[in-house]
Structure 1
Amino acid sequence: MTGTRNSGRDRHCVKAALAEVEKLHSDRNYRQASGLFYVEGVRNFVSAIDRGLDISTLLFSEKLLTAPLARKLVRQSRRSGVPTVSLTPEQFRRISHTPRASGVSAILRQPWVELPKVSPQTGLCWVVLESVRSPGNFGSLIRTSEAIGGAGFILVGGRIDPFDPNVVRASMGSIFRQAFVRTTFSQLHRWMRSNHCCGVGASPDGAAELHQFDYPRSTLLVLGEERRGLTPQQRNLCQHFVRIPMVGKADSLNLAVAGSLLLYELYRTAKK
């Protein structure tokens, strides 16, 4: 009789976990209201553990999960009391969005940081964004920022969701090594003044080309949305504007390319 009750409870836990994963995949409002996001794969799971992120639920398939380190971390997480759901290979594949299901995934608490608690001296620089058109491009930009030692991203307003599954996937684990701040323009203005930050915006009307500008130490790199460029409020954050030279017929670059060029120029300047 006890086994029957446990079996029913297990089935209920599996059903609830699978339903929650589907909602986190598809419903941004649910991600925002719950403060949760979903990650899949050994790299993401190990990175989340390394960074000490709060795991709401750990999901794994004994048969699919073959990586020794990940198996060890699953055992350790279960022993430490992390809520864990064991899935069959078929159940895990239902929620997998990768070509080859790895057998491990997790529902995590979104690791937001409050603006007053961060320093402009942390990392090489911060990137300021208001909106992006492509989650994949944003994920790629996160990878570049992590690669050059950037601190993270200051997101103004509520348009950008860094925990969108497409962003997480494109970041290739770099999302766990970047900080994310949500704020308003007025709060950011005050923080920049009190911390003596320099806003540098990327714009076709910039006075200098990106490689001709001497970037200050406490630089905030302000990037506009791919199609519209910098908004008036973003421009008000900037003391300087730099442009990316283009001699062909193209009149713009996507966010990942433009942002990466500027981030590596900041890196090159800092190494002088």
Structure 2
Amino acid sequence: MTKHDISIISSVHNPRVKGWTQLLDKKGRERQGQFMIEGIHLVQEALASDAALEALVYAAERRQELSGGMLEQAESRGVECVAVSEAVLAKCTDTLTPQAVFAVLPKLSWQPEDLLATAGTGPELVVVIDGMQDPGNLGTIIRSADAVGATGVLLGRGTVDLYNPKTVRATMGSLFHLPIVQGDLQSVLPLAAQQGAAVVATSLQGTSDCYGFDFRQPVWFVIGNEGQGVSPEAAALTTEQIRIPMQGRAESLNAAMAATVVLFEAMRQRLF
């Protein structure tokens, strides 16, 4: 018996298990100020990014699946490693067939001021989310923002919870790679514009296309709700509206796909 397996939490009625289970719900996350990441890849990404893990919880019977010295690495940083039964693991996780590990972390501490500190002073590229509802779309956009080297992501009010388990999984660890901030677009976007950033949104009525727009300047790119697009309130704060040219018969693109097209065009202009 190893030191990791000395004490195994086997009851789903254990008080700690009840606390972890509450993290599957938004109210529980808000009350505890914590969230959960599930699976080997996400935990590895969190450790590699020096995220402040508070507990690493793993299935005692599947400890051998935790490759790369994960437990040793976590323990060397003072992270509590807790062995649990399969029943406890299933109770605490969101996936149908859970992997052998999950971790508990404090919510990210980024603030709008962290993004505004560099607004207009360099070639920043900030992705702004206005009322998006699908957790998979949000996670995919965060992953795309990370891929193109965006400065950060701003989540406006009415947007799906960043810490929704489906959102977290869809980021594939990218939520640990760049600042992700929650704030009021009505107060933050005007400040970004005042500091010299272009505030841009896509629109079918855009005056120019995304390939003709100059993304080499500081840009805050606004992405709207899947059904209604950018809200009238946020659209009123934009300095330019652009469109994505399409040759086929599709009227529009999925929100995450449209965002990715524009973000990679921004990266192309800036790098190539």
TM-score over 0.5 for the pair = yes
**CA positional deviation for 1:44:** 0.7
Unaligned runs of 5+ in 1: 1-5
Letter of the 2:108 partner, please give it.
P
Q: Is the contact between residue 53 and residue 111 of structure 1 (CA under 8 Å) also seen in structure 2?
A: no
Q: Which residue of 1 aligns with 2:142?
A: 142
Q: Is the contact between residue 132 and residue 138 of structure 1 (CA under 8 Å) also seen in structure 2?
A: yes
Q: Which has the higher helix share?
A: 1
- CA distance in structure 2 between the aligned counterparts of 1:255 and 1:123, rounded to whole angstroms: 24
- CA distance in structure 2 between the aligned counterparts of 1:153 and 1:260, rounded to whole angstroms: 13
**CA positional deviation for 1:185:** 2.9
**SS of the counterpart of 1:68?**
coil
- CA distance in structure 2 between the aligned counterparts of 1:123 and 1:19, rounded to whole angstroms: 46
- CA distance in structure 2 between the aligned counterparts of 1:86 and 1:172, rounded to whole angstroms: 24
In the alignment, does 2:66 pair up with 1:67? yes
**CA positional deviation for 1:190:** 4.5
TM-score of the two chains, using structure 2 as the length reference: 0.86
Q: Which residue of 1 aligns with 2:83?
A: 86
In the alignment, does 2:260 pair up with 1:263? no
**CA positional deviation for 1:220:** 0.6
Q: Which residue of 1 aligns with 2:40?
A: 42
**Percent sequence identity over matched residues?**
25
Q: Aligned residue pairs: how many?
A: 263
- CA distance in structure 1 between the aligned counterparts of 2:9 and 2:162, rounded to whole angstroms: 32
**CA positional deviation for 1:203:** 0.6
**CA positional deviation for 1:212:** 1.7
- CA distance in structure 1 between the aligned counterparts of 2:81 and 2:12, rounded to whole angstroms: 9
Q: Which residue of 2 aligns with 1:191?
A: 191
- CA distance in structure 2 between the aligned counterparts of 1:170 and 1:57, rounded to whole angstroms: 22
Identify the range of structure 1 (106-115 vs 188-197) with the bigger mean alpha-carbon deviation: 188-197
TM-score of the two chains, using structure 1 as the length reference: 0.86
**CA positional deviation for 1:157:** 1.9
- CA distance in structure 1 between the aligned counterparts of 2:78 and 2:13, rounded to whole angstroms: 17
Unaligned runs of 5+ in 2: 1-5
Q: Which residue of 1 aligns with 2:22?
A: 23
- CA distance in structure 1 between the aligned counterparts of 2:122 and 2:75, rounded to whole angstroms: 34
**CA positional deviation for 1:165:** 0.5
Q: Once superposed, what is the RMSD of the aligned Cα atoms?
A: 2.6
Q: Which residue of 1 aligns with 2:3?
A: none
**CA positional deviation for 1:97:** 3.9
- CA distance in structure 1 between the aligned counterparts of 2:251 and 2:238, rounded to whole angstroms: 22
Aligned residue runs from structure 1 range 197-236, under 5 A: 197-236=197-236
Q: Which residue of 2 aligns with 1:3?
A: none
**CA positional deviation for 1:14:** 7.6
